[in-house]
Chains A and B, each alone.
Chain A
Amino acid sequence: MTPSARLQTAVARGYTRVTASALGPRQSAVVRIGFSFTWLLFLVREWPHRRELYGPDAPWNWDMAARLIDGNRAFSALMWSDSTVWFEIVYALAIVSSALLLVGWRTRTMSVLFMIGVLSLQNRSIFVGDGGDNLIHLMSMYLVLTRCGQVWSLDARRAARGGADRAWPPRDTTGIVLWAVTGTALLWAQLFTDARLYLTADGPLPGLGWGTVLWGLWLVHAGWWFVRRYAPGEPRIVMDALAKVAHNGALLVIMAEVCLLYASAGWYKIQGSRWQDGTALYYPLHLDYFSPWPWLADIVASSGTLVMVLTYGTVIVQVAFPFTLLNRRAKNAMLVLLMLEHLGIAVLLGLPFFSLAVVAADAVFLPTNVLRWAEARLGRARDRLAARSVWLPGQRARESDEVSPDGTLVR
């Protein structure tokens, strides 16, 4: 084959790949489940402190937040009104949307609401967040562009039950109601609040306003419903291909961001004297804010060799990770090490939510065969459960849907 012919083949193959399928269905599902679970757990854990963190009792009060946001133009639905009732509604919606995204009910709508919840709470009080919050912040926006509910979701179950043999897609009353409700809410925000939902200003990206983003997504949802039902031919194929292109692009960005995270964390450490002399790990273990288990920290810190090995190991793994993607086995080994390290950080430094978020991001690189294996195992476990409790088979099944992902993550 001549080089130009080979190039042509490659381009054609690439074109087919990015338009014909939404790649990494299980990986994107794990990322969805990981981040929604992390955020849900966080919101539930902070329930007693919610008013102090983001609400009316916050030392960072509403007026201060308004002054800061006036400058940086960040998005927060909490700034649409300073009433306590509104705050409680937003917090409750953040919890509900996380839970529904976790189980994959109306995934594409819930991912938008999830993003709104994350940005609203975090941008309301940016000074109570940490690196884990920052990662959730980024990923909540990327997830909106992915088809993260293709597997391991109630959506997938409904699709499998419903329409395999049905030529005509259902009218989908639930979807229409959801669409009308969200549209009404958006219209209310647009007309009756100070929400800065502009077309081109004050948005997530230069030249792209939140008005364009949210109304655009809303219209795309309607468009998709319409072409599925009334234009099943070419328009539907085109829209489907566009969604796949968006998914694949977003997935690429997610993967690249994880590489960037480790690269920046690792390369900056190389320059630090403590990482060079092999004592870096010793110090965080002796910080009052990061030592929930002093006796455990003492055990780890008691051996100079262990501290040195862990210190060097951390830097080596972080720097090496992006390059190991070129080799599947090396990548998987690194992935295991990174996940173990973050589990260690979760306990040792008392940063469970940060660690969960990082592990959820790492999960985008989990190999498909491992995910299939987990799927099969959990499927069998679920079947056993369902067999044991014949009275509530549907409910049991749903429980195992929810439980399975964390099992995959923690393992």
Chain B
Amino acid sequence: MADTEPEPAGREPTGPEPQQGEPAGPKPTGPEPGESEPAEPTAPAPDGDAAEPLTTLSLPAQLIIAVAIAVAAVAAAIHLSAAFLNVSPPNTLTKRHGAAIDDYVYPEFERVWKLFAPNPLQQNIAVQARAQIRTPEGGTATTGWRDLSAQDGADIRHNPLPSHTQQNELRRGWEFYVGSHDAKERPQGMRGNLSEQYVRRIVALRLGREEDGGTVERIQVRSATTPVAPPPWSDEKIDTKTFYRTLPWWTVTSADLPEAKRP
């Protein structure tokens, strides 16, 4: 695409030495008020042609601009209304126009902004896995549980820039699974099946092909949920016993591993 950076020249006060790569002049030159809100215009008399009063334009030109302003205003109003209804609690309007709002907002304008609200997460949810392996001697054995979330936690500790692979992959993958399965581990629609495959592949990636010296044939996943104890100054008493949710055994194949890790 051609460069269309629209300002031709001299629009902004560009400072005394543009040849030295002045991003914009150190000395404000325009008569702009020193203290202005973000919405304050730039220097009021920028460059010649654009500063010409638009009222001197021909009627069609004025009409085009007027229509554009109207379109922009309506578009902004619609967009912000949809944004508002996207984050608002279910209400009269979202119930009446839910489909239209979803149609507008998804897939590109979704907002996931309920940060730690209404309550922050108050439990550590660890995803653990064990494997059924075929030993070199030809027998089968079951490994102990491996805490994959603890591994993530260890990778995040003392890490100023945690990776999404450590912080989000397993954590959000498990959330996805939980959100698309019922209490009896039955998948809800396509997302349920996808989430199952996703969690299986995350676990397969982390365990690898070999575990405890044998070849992994099946894996089992469980979540261990431990409530965070209330603060010491609180008189609240809660049970901090760990609660387990154990999934059925899954067969893993080499297709569940990335190509680099396949035999």
Flag if A56 contacts B259 (CB, 8 Å).
yes
Is the contact region of chain A dominated by helix, strand, or loop, or is it mixed? Answer: helix
In the assembled complex, which residues on chain A have CB atoms less than 8 Å from the CB atom of B157? Answer: 291-294
Flag if B8 contacts A237 (CB, 8 Å).
no
Flag if B5 contacts A107 (CB, 8 Å).
yes
Flag if A273 contacts B119 (CB, 8 Å).
yes
In the assembled complex, which residues on chain A have CB atoms less than 8 Å from the CB atom of B159? Answer: 292, 350
A323 located at the interface, meaning its Cβ lies under 8 Å from any Cβ of chain B in the complex: no
B178 located at the interface, meaning its Cβ lies under 8 Å from any Cβ of chain A in the complex: no
Flag if B114 contacts A268 (CB, 8 Å).
yes
Cα–Cα distance between A281 and B231 once the two chains are bound (Å): 10
Residue on A nearest B154 in the bound complex, by CB: A288
In the assembled complex, which residues on chain B have CB atoms less than 8 Å from the CB atom of A264? Answer: 87-88, 111, 113-114, 117
Across the A-B interface, give the 5 residue pairs with the lowest CB-CB distance, nearest first.
Answer: A397-B21, A175-B3, A379-B26, A272-B118, A268-B117
Cα–Cα distance between A294 and B159 once the two chains are bound (Å): 11
B137 located at the interface, meaning its Cβ lies under 8 Å from any Cβ of chain A in the complex: no
The number of chain B residues with a CB under 8 A from chain A is 121
In the assembled complex, which residues on chain B have CB atoms less than 8 Å from the CB atom of A109? Answer: 1-4
Flag if B12 contacts A25 (CB, 8 Å).
yes
CB-defined interface of A156-199 with B at 8 Å, one 1/0 digit per residue? 11011111101001001011101100110000000000000000
- Given contacts A59-B202, A138-B109, A159-B5, whether A284 and B120 have CB atoms under 8 Å apart is yes
Flag if B4 contacts A108 (CB, 8 Å).
yes
A411 located at the interface, meaning its Cβ lies under 8 Å from any Cβ of chain B in the complex: no
Interface residue from B1, B80, B112, B198 paired with A134 (Cβ < 8 Å): B112
Flag if B26 contacts A376 (CB, 8 Å).
yes
In the assembled complex, which residues on chain A have CB atoms less than 8 Å from the CB atom of B246? Answer: none
Interface residue from B12, B73, B156 paired with A249 (Cβ < 8 Å): B73
Give the segment of B44-52, B138-146, B208-216 that binds chain A.
Answer: B44-52
Chain A nearest CB from B217 CB (Å) reads 19
CB-defined interface of A27-71 with B at 8 Å, one 1/0 digit per residue? 100000000000000000110010111001111110010011001
Flag if B3 contacts A172 (CB, 8 Å).
yes
In the assembled complex, which residues on chain B have CB atoms less than 8 Å from the CB atom of A243? Answer: 6
Flag if A64 contacts B7 (CB, 8 Å).
no
A149 located at the interface, meaning its Cβ lies under 8 Å from any Cβ of chain B in the complex: yes
Flag if A45 contacts B163 (CB, 8 Å).
yes
- The tally of CB-CB contacts under 8 A between chains A and B is 417
15 new A-B contacts at CB < 8 Å, known A249-B76, A304-B234, A352-B160: A15-B54, A20-B51, A27-B38, A51-B258, A52-B165, A109-B4, A147-B7, A205-B104, A240-B49, A242-B64, A253-B79, A261-B111, A261-B113, A369-B36, A397-B20
In the assembled complex, which residues on chain B have CB atoms less than 8 Å from the CB atom of A206? Answer: 103-104
- Given contacts A24-B38, A294-B157, A397-B21, whether A127 and B176 have CB atoms under 8 Å apart is yes
A388 located at the interface, meaning its Cβ lies under 8 Å from any Cβ of chain B in the complex: no
Flag if B9 contacts A45 (CB, 8 Å).
no
Within 8 A of A (CB), among B11-67: 11-12, 14-15, 17-28, 32, 34-42, 44, 46, 49-54, 57-58, 61, 64-65
Flag if A147 contacts B6 (CB, 8 Å).
yes
Residue on A nearest B87 in the bound complex, by CB: A264
B201 located at the interface, meaning its Cβ lies under 8 Å from any Cβ of chain A in the complex: yes
Residue on A nearest B150 in the bound complex, by CB: A288
In the assembled complex, which residues on chain B have CB atoms less than 8 Å from the CB atom of A367? Answer: 35-38
Question: What would be 15 A-B contacts, judged by CB atoms less than 8 Å apart?
Answer: A20-B54, A24-B39, A57-B261, A64-B194, A134-B110, A147-B7, A163-B9, A224-B2, A238-B57, A272-B118, A279-B234, A280-B120, A375-B25, A376-B28, A393-B20
Flag if B231 contacts A279 (CB, 8 Å).
yes
Chain A nearest CB from B154 CB (Å) reads 9
In the assembled complex, which residues on chain B have CB atoms less than 8 Å from the CB atom of A15? Answer: 54, 69
Flag if B21 contacts A283 (CB, 8 Å).
no
Flag if A75 contacts B117 (CB, 8 Å).
no
Flag if A328 contacts B37 (CB, 8 Å).
yes
B169 located at the interface, meaning its Cβ lies under 8 Å from any Cβ of chain A in the complex: yes
In the assembled complex, which residues on chain A have CB atoms less than 8 Å from the CB atom of B171? Answer: 289
In the assembled complex, which residues on chain A have CB atoms less than 8 Å from the CB atom of B1? Answer: 108-109, 112, 175, 178-179, 182-183, 217-218, 221-222
Most A Cβ at <10 Å: residue of B10, B54, B260 = B54
A404 located at the interface, meaning its Cβ lies under 8 Å from any Cβ of chain B in the complex: yes
Chain A nearest CB from B162 CB (Å) reads 5
Flag if A398 contacts B21 (CB, 8 Å).
yes
Flag if B190 contacts A71 (CB, 8 Å).
yes
